[in-house]
Structure 1
């Protein structure tokens, strides 16, 4: 990574082209500067008129936004047990060669990587996830970062020895004009035409089978997911869906990743891990109940959740696993003794934060590798629960239930678990929901829990209130 003192984009382009000519190979440039205030959904919406897919990320805790357009550089890995290491190696190689001008040094600026991993690379892939690789990250060509009320635009591009700086400058300024200076109203949100649950009776039979296996000592917990397919009246526009998710799911990460004709999006309340200045935060979010219609009913449901044996057992599985997973790579680990309630619009969960200091020799990708999948999405023990899911589950999870997020050149980053989500392709979408099966589980109760978990996405897709 070459830090420069370039004062203008034109100077940066000149220097990068000269270096590309000297090396006789393409050279990546990243330049960041402050910009005037712009709404992130407006930026995302304008970007649909440009070439290249879009990515969107916002954290509910600090009004932090990342909106990416296009692709300057791609990181991908083969579906193997070494996929995390492959991504890390390619990232470090890219950083060693990039010319970067970023006087602000703000987390989430510069040549950051945005993307995710599939839930289980050993699961047989289906056509549903054909547009998504098992491990895939994108360094956006244009990146809007909003952090602590300040706005930054990073331009990442690859220049070639034969490129002309004035032509590149013209293209960049044209794109900036499109992204930053026009006001376009959002299209109307979608309306669901049909809904179809994928084999609910077979899914309940699978829950019964898992319960029997657990009672026989095969595992302590197995998380099972199912799919609902919907169709729309017309091809779906993503921007109004994201806008609605931000307004309604205020305690959730809102994300979108476009690949080819598909877009995976959602509002997940479940952080996997955050690292900022070596301070690590992971959270356990396991154990679920609906919200009440009145304050009194809501408090009563929450109290019952806090004292429910099945949900507390599920929750404790995840807390113990997180602590064990980070123990060798972290110092000063802090875990509260009891969970608290974490309220969402449609649901409430048991919640325990885990804090620590990440050792300098480790990265956020190291932690993601150790944590995924947590018992909240896979089960316990990990390998046995994954084997049961792989053999019996009725869907290809793809990126559902998997780590999605971002990381930057300065060891900052954040990953969430991609639940409460949908994969949209034109006039169709697949929604996903899951639940933890333990020895006390009843198929009908677990089925109803997944129905509740479909609600956040159905509500913004025009199919539920």
Structure 2
């Protein structure tokens, strides 16, 4: 059976599915050893735990909340940080099937549109007052009905081959997604991350699509949003001891339904046990999912956004015994529970942001999951 088949048929409490671009798919089944971390130093604690947990040849899957807060409500079972060394690790290729129906008829419930417009207006007011330069404002919708997480993962794998497709199951609930955003990868001594910020919709014709991409590449507002992220990543990696390479060229990353601006940031650092998680802690949350200045943006989100992000926009990935690993930002994601799923999407708000345009951007991002289940 393929890793996704194994994931689908596993009846234990813990199950993880992971498929990143260019790599074999993996399924981690069961929990041979597991550690939960919290507090302001949760990523350092996770790095230390990884060094203690992992024997040669093993990996641990790990997921973290956007904020350091106790798990509650729908997110019970998904604490602020959790590492799991699986009982069984299955690797292999996937057929990429898109013909599996993920469940029964679904009803989408979305009462957030007026409140989201208001939140964007509040955010631009804070920016105009000089309190913030950027803040990411998110909204949540629900899809009610029966949904099979493995079938959703199969469809996401088929449609988003340039994204990391992930599923973290804790009993019945399962957090799934298809993220385009590498938070950090450490391969031997090579560190890689990507600034992914700035957004435009796909066009309805090839000519219209090219025009949208070109407008994105030259739009001052989108360029400003993107610049915040690039400079943040370079600064934080340098402070973490990474010897940086010159900044890569900014390109347009094209995905189903959406264009993004993307810039690679890379460098070198000697690996040691737990290192990938220390780099995760240095970078999370980036301005692409939080804002800038980071502390004030996180405070604004906690006080004004009005939802529990849980693991949405948190780091998810894996680390090996050497300290190498791969972590993505948990975007284009949903928490599947018996009876339905919760989806969250956000948009980066800067000076001059228009509430209707930002609302439309979140619609596009929510469609990444909704289109495979409705």
Matched, 1:45 2:8: yes
Task: Classify 1:45/1:261 alpha carbon distance in 2 versus 1 (closer, same or farther; 3 Å).
Answer: closer
Deviations 1:319-351 (CA, angstroms, capped at 9, x unpaired): 000000001311142312x41111111111101
Contact 2:112 2:141 in 1 (8 A): no
Matched, 1:333 2:272: no
Runs of 4+ in 1 over 4 A off after TM superposition: none
How far, CA to CA, are the matches of 1:384 and 1:145 in structure 2? 42
Structure 1 partner of 2:139 = 226
- Specify every segment of 5 or more residues in structure 2 that has no aligned partner in the other structure, as ranges: none
Correspondence 1:99-110 to 2 at 5 A = 110=57
Contact 1:192 1:230 in 2 (8 A): no
Correspondence 1:361-376 to 2 at 5 A = 363-376=275-288
How far, CA to CA, are the matches of 2:243 and 2:234 in structure 1? 11
Correspondence 1:132-281 to 2 at 5 A = 132-146=78-92, 188-232=101-145, 234=146, 236-281=147-192
Q: In the TM superposition, what is the alpha-carbon distance from 1:192 to its structure 2 partner? A: 4.2
Q: In the TM superposition, what is the alpha-carbon distance from 1:126 to its structure 2 partner? A: 4.0
Q: Count the aligned residue pairs.
A: 368
How far, CA to CA, are the matches of 1:277 and 1:385 in structure 2? 34
Contact 1:131 1:261 in 2 (8 A): no
Deviations 1:344-382 (CA, angstroms, capped at 9, x unpaired): 111111010111112346811111111000000000000
Task: Classify 1:360/1:260 alpha carbon distance in 2 versus 1 (closer, same or farther; 3 Å).
Answer: closer
The match for 1:64 among 10, 15, 24 is 24
Contact 1:206 1:392 in 2 (8 A): yes
Contact 2:271 2:324 in 1 (8 A): no
Deviations 1:113-160 (CA, angstroms, capped at 9, x unpaired): 1021110114x75412112111011111010134xx7x9xxxxxxxxx
Structure 1 partner of 2:37 = 77
Matched, 1:444 2:356: yes
When normalised by structure 1's length, the TM-score is 0.76
- Specify every segment of 5 or more residues in structure 1 that has no aligned partner in the other structure, as ranges: 1-37, 101-109, 152-185
- Structure number with the bigger relative contact order (C-alpha 8 A, sep ≥ 6) is 2
Contact 1:198 1:227 in 2 (8 A): no
How far, CA to CA, are the matches of 1:373 and 1:326 in structure 2? 13
When normalised by structure 2's length, the TM-score is 0.94
What CA RMSD, in Å, does the superposition of the two structures yield over aligned residues? 1.8
**SS in structure 1 opposite 2:66?**
coil
Q: Which moved more, 1:236-245 or 1:295-304?
A: 236-245
The match for 1:377 among 289, 312, 315 is 289
How far, CA to CA, are the matches of 1:191 and 1:339 in structure 2? 42
Q: In the TM superposition, what is the alpha-carbon distance from 1:200 to its structure 2 partner? A: 2.0
Q: In the TM superposition, what is the alpha-carbon distance from 1:292 to its structure 2 partner? A: 1.5
